[in-house]
Structure formats: C-alpha cells, structure tokens
Structure 1
Amino acid sequence: MKSAAAWRAPPWYAKPAPRLLFQRRLAACGLPVQVVRPPRRHRGGFAVAVQARVADLPAQTVTVVFGRAEPHVPHVYTDLPSGSPHRYTDGALCMWYPGDPADQRWVLRDGPVVLLGHVIAHLLREEWWQHTGEWPGDEAAHLSISGTDDTSTQAA
C-alpha cells in the first residue's frame, strides 16, 4: 500500500492575485505582457511573454517561466538564437549560478522589474560577447554530472 505524498503548499502563482500582480508590475515597465503556456518541461507552471525592445539589441520576445518543480526559480527564454556560453542546454538564459546566495541572484521578493533588469543585462552581455568574444561580468563554471568543470556552460 502506497502512502500519500506529504502536503506541500501550492506555488506562489497558484492563486490569481500573485499572478496578476506579477503581470501588472511587469506591464508597468511599458512593455506588452502576455500570459503564455509554459513549455512542456515546466507543465503546470506559469509563464509570461514580454516584447523587449532595448537600444543596441534586436527586438525579441522574452518568456519568463516558473515551473511547478521550482516555483520560485525563473527560467528565461528568448526567441532569438544565441551561441552564448551562458545558456543552458534547453536555451534558458544562465544569468547567475543557482547556488549563489540570495543577494547575488533574483528572488521572488525582488519583483518582476528587477528580474527584467537581470534579463536585459544578460542580453546586453550576450551581444557584447558575440561582437568581441569576451564576456563582461562574473563567470562561474558549472559542474557537469560527472562532477568535473564544464566550461562550455558557464554562469554569468
């Protein structure tokens, strides 16, 4: 006989008020915001798409996804391809090292405007890297599954 799974609090976006507040604060930046279906691997999550038009960057759609497995960790995607070493294998932006302390990465209490700032800064770094081959900013090597340094997927 299987025992029932332990009760877990629902993700922050499970109720409409936090979702609507996140969208409203993001829209306050003057960008059109659209709720979209999360990618299959983040099924059951919450996702919004923003049309980013930033000087010195090509116009692109930025999609922010909060998955059910990690509801406080944003996964950010763009519709433009990039050969940047600061993308995960699924194409998500690698904006910080996941194990960094809260003051070195985005946390929910920072709000969507701060998250958008991280995204834009990352996209500007990618643009610089594409033109110069140099990454402006801090980098931390990820550990591969075998536990060795994998310099092909570094964190920004």
Structure 2
Amino acid sequence: MRNFKRKQLTIAQQRCKIQQFFPSFRYFKKGYWIGTLRPTLSSPFYTIKIIYGKYNPKVFVIKPTIHKEAPHRYSDGSLCLYYPGDRSYHESLFIADTIIPWTAEWLYYYEKWLEDGIWWGPEAPHSYKLKKQ
C-alpha cells in the first residue's frame, strides 16, 4: 500500500476557486481574503477575514461585532469551525469548499444562539487530556 502525502494547494488555486464561488471575497497580497457572507435572507451581511498561512486558515468576523460571550471561538477571536483532530480541513482542500461554507454555517448557529442562548450546531469535545511522557 502506498503512503502518499497530500499536496498543499497554491494561493493561485485557492484564489481562483474562491473568486469563482464567492466573488465578494477579495484577496490581499499579505495572505488574506475579506468578503461578505449572509447565512439567511433575514441575516445581516457579515464581513469576514480569512487569513491563509502555512497551516489552517483563521477566520474572523470583522463586522458586525460578534458578542464577546459567543461560543466556539479561540482566544484570539477567530472562529472554531471544525475539530482539528479529525482533519476535516487540511492543506489539500479548497477553502471555498470547506472554510467559507463552514463559516456561513457557524454564523447561522450564532444567530440561533443569540435568539435562545443554545448552540444548536455540531460540537466536538473541548476538554483534552495530555499524556504524560
């Protein structure tokens, strides 16, 4: 059985697909996109920033301001869109197929959380035990 490594997509590949499916997103040479998403017709337009570095993309909501107590965010304010341990996202996947739709889904569940205080979206365990070596 062959063990083959996943190949990271280039910025050009990512840009092309994002432009095709999410034309409101504009790429900036410093390695990020800014665009708008609207999860439902009754939702506001959210301005999103996606930073694409060497590892997993980081997603921030620029406006409107996300409630400071909103769940499923990292300490830097970026959105927790998936459980990294299950490798839902990796460098050979398109941001347009994964990160952007997951962001829209996160925004949908965020709006529901604002309405009734319950996060109805999928969740992964958040308590990790480190093994002693």
Same fold (TM over 0.5): yes
Deviating runs (4+, > 4 A) in structure 1?
none
RMSD: 2.5
Q: Scaled by the length of structure 2, what TM-score is found?
A: 0.74
Which stretches in structure 2 are left out of the alignment for 5+ residues? 1-7
Maintained 8 Å contact 2:48/2:59: yes
Query: For 2:71 and 2:29, how far apart are their aligned partners in 1?
Result: 27
Query: Which residue does the alignment assign to 1:126?
Result: 110
What does residue range 1-156 of structure 1 map to in structure 2 within 5 Å?
A: 12=8, 18-36=10-28, 46-54=31-39, 55-67=41-53, 71-80=54-63, 81-83=65-67, 84-99=70-85, 101-102=86-87, 105-114=88-97, 115-143=99-127
Higher relative contact order (CA 8 A, sep 6+): 2
Query: For 2:52 and 2:126, how far apart are their aligned partners in 1?
Result: 22
Structure with more helix by fraction: 1
Cα gap change, 1:137/1:32 in structure 2, threshold over 3 Å: closer, same or farther?
Answer: closer
Maintained 8 Å contact 2:14/2:96: no
Which stretches in structure 1 are left out of the alignment for 5+ residues? 1-11, 39-45, 149-156
Structure with more strand by fraction: 1
Q: Scaled by the length of structure 1, what TM-score is found?
A: 0.64
- Identical residues among aligned pairs (%): 22
